[in-house]
Homo-oligomer: A and B are copies of this chain.
Amino acid sequence: MKKIAFFPGDGIGPEISAAARAVLETVAELAAMPMQIEEGLVGGAALDAHDDPLPEASLQLAKTADAVLLGAVGGPQWDARPPAQRPEQGLLRLRKGLDLYANLRPAQIFPQLLAASPLRPELVQDVDILVVRELTGDIYFGQPRGIDVVDGKRRGFNTMVYDEGEIRRIAHIAFRAAQGRRRKVCSVDKANVLETTRLWREVVTEVAREYPDVALEHMYVDNAAMQLIRYPAQFDVLLTGNMFGDILSDEASQLTGSIGMLASASLGEGRGMYEPIHGSAPDIAGQDKANPLATILSVAMMLRHSLQQEEWADRIETAVNQVLDQGYRTADIASPGEAVIGTRSMGEAVVAAL
């Protein structure tokens, strides 16, 4: 019996995750896989109910599950709160609490949606990037941090920090992923200025020796931000830290024009967490407008990485391609003039295709 922790979250989270849940339940039935889905609260929903973005019960639920499916968290109603009392903190504590140090974010082009990319089609048609982002270290979690007053002036400070163990384990994830792909790793740092990333470069170079079949390149983060636009097809696996990865993975996914289509997996030594890479889109929440495909494709990643159901992962991906081929479009991926369907209908179309 597999146990799935299910966190719908805020904004469009409940709608998109309901569609994804239906897909997961369909697969469980078709595959005769005994499964139990348990719902919990995280983010703004948890703040409203328990004044805590990650109640202990939610963390325990996640820790005892085989995998976690998450919708999205956050919204303007919680924006004025101090960081520790914000929805995002629930997400960060969940990542840290489950030791999900490896965030995999594929940025790939769906040929049916080429026209939705802001880039010229000839530049994006071959784009297939896997961003491997470190997720439990760096300036996100470094101590000391805070705001104090020095000589009567407020001063804010944070600490970027990585030790070689943290760098080594995420580097292994990237090299192993590259072995199943085009065998290239581009490691992104700012080694010309930041000592932390000079160590990053050294350790990644050491790990690379164990993978002689994979080509390693190093790139400065400012150059990477340019190269992603100039010639994105040059990248296979893009390996980087938590902060740079936050920026570059969002940039990479926007390139494809299909951010509503992109899934993510956050992995550690144990269970994994799966979520769309887009946010909670409060402006369209509750209107049956959101695209559920990123969350549905996150279910495919869950089947592949946590539930040993590679074949059903493939089938979901095929079903998604099929509904695109059939011309089904939510508003975010429709070209001018194309007919638009809602969140629920899109989910049902995928279930039907399965």
Contact = CB atoms under 8 A, between A and B. Distances in A.
Nearest to A158: B160
B162 A155 contact: yes
Interface in A117-147: 118-120, 123, 139-140, 142, 145-147
A249 to B, nearest CB: 8
8 contacts: A88-B192, A139-B139, A142-B157, A155-B162, A155-B164, A156-B199, A157-B161, A222-B250
Nearest to A192: B88
A71 to B, nearest CB: 18
Interface stretch (A177-185, A223-231, A297-305, A340-348): A223-231
Interface of A: 74, 83, 86, 88, 92, 118-120, 123, 139-140, 142, 145-147, 150, 153-165, 190-200, 202-203, 221-223, 225-226, 228-230, 243-244, 246-251, 253-255, 259
A136 to B, nearest CB: 13
A235 to B, nearest CB: 14
B164 A196 contact: no
Number of copies of this chain in the oligomer?
Answer: 2
B223 A250 contact: yes
A155 B120 CA distance: 42
A195 B156 contact: yes
A198 B161 CA distance: 20
A32 B259 CA distance: 56
Given A198-B83, A230-B254, A248-B225, A193 B163 contact: no
A279 to B, nearest CB: 8
Contacts of A229: 118-119, 229, 251, 254-255
| Chain A facing B: main interface SS | helix
The 5 closest A-B pairs by CB, nearest first: A156-B199, A156-B196, A226-B254, A225-B251, A222-B250
A139 B118 contact: no
A150 B161 CA distance: 12
Contacts of A161: 155-158
A139 B194 contact: yes
B150 A156 contact: no
A83 B123 contact: no
Given A226-B259, A251-B226, A251-B229, A156 B246 contact: no
Contacts of A200: 156
